[in-house]
Amino acid sequence: MLCEECGERQAEVVMTTVINGESTSRHLCRECLKKYQTGDLQSVLAAVLSAMAEKKQVPEITCPRCGETYAEFQKTGMLGCAECYAAFRRELTPLITRVQGRTQHAGRRPPVSEEEQARQTRMEALRAQMEAAVAEENFEEAARLRDELRAIAASGEAKA
Residue 109 within any structural domain of the chain: no
Q: Are residues 130 and 155 in the same domain?
A: yes
**Residue 142 binned pLDDT confidence (cut-offs 50, 70, 90):** very high
Q: Are residues 39 and 1 in the same domain?
A: yes
**Residue 134 binned pLDDT confidence (cut-offs 50, 70, 90):** very high
Q: Are residues 13 and 48 in the same domain?
A: yes
What kind and span of H or E run contains 16? strand 13-19
What predicted TM-score, i.e. pTM, was given to this entire model?
0.35
Distance CA 84, CA 61 (A): 10
User: Residue 146: which domain range?
Assistant: 114-159
The number of domains in the chain is: 3
Q: Are residues 25 and 62 in the same domain?
A: no
Compute the chain's Rg from CA coordinates: 28
Decide if pLDDT at 109 tops 80: no
Classify 22 as helix, strand or coil: strand
**Residue 20 binned pLDDT confidence (cut-offs 50, 70, 90):** low
